[in-house]
Amino acid sequence: MSINLENHKEFYHTSPGFNFTLSDAGDVLFINQKFRECLGYDLVEPLKINDILTSGSVIFFQVHLQPMIDLQHKADEVFLSFKTKTGNTVPVLLNAIRLVEGEIPKIHFAGINISQRNNYEKEILHARDVAEKALLDNLEHIRLKKELEYSQHQIEVQLQKIANYSEQHKQIDKVLSHDLQEPIRKISIFASLIENIDPEIEKNISKILKSSERLRKLLNRMQRLHAIENASLNLSNVSLKDIIEKAKNKLDIKDSSLQITHIDSLIFPADHDQLVNLFSELLDNSLKYKRNETPLVIKVTTDHFMQNTFIETEDKFQYGKYVRVTYSDNGSGFENTYAETVFELFSKLHMDKGLGFGLTLVKRIMSLHRGTVKLKSIENEGTTLTMLFPLEA
């Protein structure tokens, strides 16, 4: 097959693409005007393919492309990087065909500059990435919106429950403060007025008076517990040394053998009156359950502590600063298996002592402070309570 290239010179030079012809030796036999101008060479300058290819493309041409063209007599959509006379790079997509003209083999190339196409592809890829990100952001927005709507619904449900509880608490407060207290007062008054009676009856009346007094104390404790449920904190910087001293005075402790030591007493924000109540309960509990013929020793320490602020929420972590208050005594203690039970309302490990309110009040006061309390006890050695007070709102 033979092609008269003379008849196609006009096509070579006026073509909008990049056209050139190589010999098997790599000499550039023909190159159209547009491609030569792009590369920056004069029409009369002799060129070799290695002169106008980048080093990477030279290797690709010699090792892969030329052998493939020799074997298949053509190549389609081949990418080569050409270099201009000034050293710039021009990416070109080429088709090639190998023909023999007058027994002289020649390789004809036709190609296009894909510099802009690369930019377009980059822009398209960028636009695709932006669109995908926008889609993902929109999906995330939809998911978060659904979660927010669900959370708002849950909050509304909880607010309705709180409103119902608040109304119930008001009614309970009325019952505790008046409806139940008044009959007990009358029982005590009328029982105490009875005179000149049989000793056996007097003994039973004494039991009635003791039971009514116990019931009165029980109602007072329930009223205090109920008051804590509805209380708001009045925070101020407190010192445990001052708090414990006021708790001792409140209990009017007469035990001269009682030893209370304070170590590293830090100042931290808490409700002063509620802490006096808390330590009153702790001291009262220690006095009730001290070991016979063993002087009661109480040790209180404070230090700083870091803990996860998400107590009830699983798989959520945010650590906050706390003041850790450790209260320990050398009392009778109990089996540590009851460490959680003792915080429950009316829970008592000794049937003959207390009303079963003390540690329940302690836990409620700690909850009011958004803190925590944990207990550890060893029978016949003593009990330790660890309380954490948050330092951050």
What contacts 24+ positions apart, CB below 8 Å, involve 8-16?
15/110
Closest by Cα among 344, 376, 374 to 360: 344
Neighbours of 366 (CB within 10 A): 21
- The amino acid occupying position 48 is K
Q: Where are the beta strands (DSSP E) in 253-355?
A: 259-263, 267-271, 297-308, 319-329
Instruction: State in Å, rounded, how far the first CA of the chain is from the last one.
Output: 91
244, 280 contact by CB (below 8 A): no
384, 376 contact by CB (below 8 A): yes
Helix axes 358-368, 199-229, angle to 10 degrees: 10
Strands 297-308 and 259-263: parallel
300, 263 contact by CB (below 8 A): yes
Neighbours of 184 (CB within 10 A): 17
Integer Cα distance of 359 and 330 in angstroms: 17
Integer Cα distance of 287 and 335 in angstroms: 18
Closest by Cα among 111, 122, 133, 143 to 38: 111
Integer Cα distance of 32 and 38 in angstroms: 10
For residue 175, give both structure tokens: 């019952």
280, 297 contact by CB (below 8 A): no
Those residues with Cβ within 8 angstroms of residue 232's Cβ, 6 or more apart along the chain or in another chain: none
Q: What is the pLDDT of residue 1?
A: 47
Helix axes 240-251, 272-288, angle to 10 degrees: 60
Those residues with Cβ within 8 angstroms of residue 353's Cβ, 6 or more apart along the chain or in another chain: 288, 289
Integer Cα distance of 183 and 265 in angstroms: 46
Integer Cα distance of 286 and 363 in angstroms: 16
The DSSP bridge partners found for residue 90 are: 82
Show pLDDT as tens, one digit a residue, over the chain (393 residues).
455 555 566 766 777 889 999 999 999 998 888 899 899 988 778 899 999 999 999 999 999 999 999 999 999 999 999 999 999 999 999 999 999 988 899 999 999 998 877 677 788 888 888 888 888 888 888 888 888 888 888 887 787 777 666 665 666 666 556 566 667 677 777 667 665 567 777 777 777 777 777 777 777 766 666 667 667 889 999 999 999 999 999 888 777 778 888 877 789 999 999 999 999 989 988 888 888 888 899 999 999 988 887 766 667 777 889 999 999 999 888 887 766 767 665 555 554 454 445 588 888 899 889 899 998 988 888 899 999 999 875
Is residue 357 classed as helix, strand or coil in its secondary structure? coil
Q: What is the pLDDT of residue 347?
A: 52
Integer Cα distance of 136 and 133 in angstroms: 5
Those residues with Cβ within 8 angstroms of residue 181's Cβ, 6 or more apart along the chain or in another chain: 216, 219
